Amino acid sequence: MLPDIGPRVAALNDRYRHHAAVSVMEKALKDPDTGEVALVSSFGAESVVLLHMVSVIAPGTPVLFIDTLMLFEETLQYQRDVAAKLGLTDVRVITATEAALKLDDPDGTLHQFNTDACCTLRKTVPLEQALSGFDAWITGRKRYQGATRQTIDFFEVETDRRMKINPLAHWGREDLEEYMVQNRLPRHPLVAKGYPSIGCAPCTSPVKPGEDPRAGRWRNSAKTECGIHFIGGKAVRGQTAPADAPAQDTANTEKVA
């Protein structure tokens, strides 16, 4: 059993504070203090950077891809193309179950009047179940992405049993661009059409020059996060079941690679 998470996260941040992103990724996948690790990827505008790092260091790392069933077709095709090109061998497609969708969003219109509930149903709850067997997960969050992310560290406490790992926390857009160019990585086709941050099709719009890169997510609303991340140090994901509660059939997981 792993030691208490708070001291482990503090030790990891101290241990790797001055390491570069690739080194943090490599260490995170091998350090016993992180435990069992998965990469959660949206296969969005910048996702290919972390996916490439994982493919070079440990291509068998579990990659969890949440298909909300409302994604752009371009994202679905990009996911298949990138996984094949990089040789990722354990990509798991996560979706809400048909029963959960029929109960809470039978006509597929929930996003029109309650985006938080839609994100919880299609993204937060299925991911929570998929992550239940892991001690840590890797995210692509970066400090430059907005006010809610300006103070993130490489390692963060998420719950009393699980941590988040943010190897790109200190990277800027220029670092991402340089990495993608140097490694000749394929770009998400929607980036060229003005989508620097890509989520579900109904809730994502193009971004104008000079706007925040995430301005096209839930435009004209106060919502800035889907619910799978912390804001201001507080969890905004849906309430999770107690550790001793029986598992609920709320997510489908399909291994595709």
246 is written with which tokens? 């029986």
Instruction: Return the half-sphere exposure (C-beta side, CA atoms, 13 A cut-off) of residue 183.
Output: 19
Residue-level length of the chain: 257
143 is written with which tokens? 């400090």
Spatial distance between the Cα atoms of 38 and 135, rounded to a whole number of angstroms: 9
| Three-state DSSP state, 112 | helix
Does the annotation mark 119 as catalytic?
A: no
Element (H, E) at 5: helix 5-16
Catalytic residue among 118, 119, 203, 226: 226
49 is written with which tokens? 């950077």
62 is written with which tokens? 């579990």
64 is written with which tokens? 């969890």
CB 33 within 8 A of CB 39: no
How do strand 37-40 and strand 63-66 relate by DSSP bridges?
parallel
CB 130 within 8 A of CB 97: no
Q: Where are the beta strands (DSSP E) in the chain?
A: 37-40, 63-66, 91-96, 136-138, 155-157, 163-165, 230-231, 234-235, 251-255
202 is written with which tokens? 């109904």
- Residues tagged active-site: 226
